[in-house]
Amino acid sequence: MSEYTSSEQQQQEAPPAPRAADATAASGATPDASDEGDVVSADQVKAVLRRVKDPELNLNIVDLGLVYDVAVEGSVVKVDMSLTSPGCPSGPEIMGDAERQLRSIPGVTDVAMNLVWSPIWTPERIEPRVRAYLGF
């Protein structure tokens, strides 16, 4: 999957992702099969992942550059992500929290979390504004 680097400056906490069916109902349109296939967008997934923080750094995993790729196929969300190191003691907690947050999105039926080590994470992957704040 392709490498993801966030260039958006969003808040640390993001509201829940709106459901496609809610937008359709608000517009007065009748839902059809194509509306059902686009339950959530990759941008909405990234916004929800901003709620997940590395407990040691107290920074979200998107700004830390740990989220490499997000793919949405209908109601299935697939995420490629890494950790700051292979021996990260918080790895299971971070991965579990990310999966729980994604499963809480209305309309998401399945989540596939893929832990990747290539390319290896380095501080250069941190969002530039956060890197400046940390003094890197």
Q: Locate tokens 């907690």: which residue? A: 93
DSSP category for residue 37: H
Residue 7 lies in a domain: no
Assigned domain for 8 exists: no
In the DSSP assignment, the letter for residue 136 is -
Q: How many domains does the chain have?
A: 1
**Cα-based distances in Å from 70 to 30, 32, 43, 44, 112:** 29, 25, 9, 10, 10
In a domain, 58, yes or no: yes
Classify residue 45: in a domain, yes or no: yes
Residue 32 lies in a domain: yes
- Please report whether residue 100 resides in a domain: yes
Q: What angle do CA 78, 67, 110 make, to 5 degrees?
A: 20
Residues 6+ apart with CB under 8 A from 67: 4, 6, 46, 49, 61, 79, 80, 81
Integer Cα distance of 31 and 71 in angstroms: 23
Give the phi and the psi of residue 34 in degrees, each rounded to 5.
-70, -35
75: left (phi over 0), alpha (psi -120 to 50) or beta: alpha
pLDDT digit string, tens, across residues 38-96 = 579 999 999 999 999 999 989 999 999 999 999 999 999 999 999 999 999 999 999 99
The tens digit of pLDDT for each residue in 106-121 reads 999 999 999 999 999 9
Which whole number is the average pLDDT over 10-14? 37
Q: How far is CA 61 from CA 11, 52, 95, in A?
A: 13, 6, 10
- Look up the CATH number of the domain holding residue 32: 3.30.300.130
- pLDDT tops 70 at residue 19: no
Domain that holds residue 80: 20-126
pLDDT in the model for residue 136:
81
Q: Within a domain: residue 120? A: yes
pTM over 0.75: no
- Residue with the larger pLDDT of the pair 12 and 76: 76
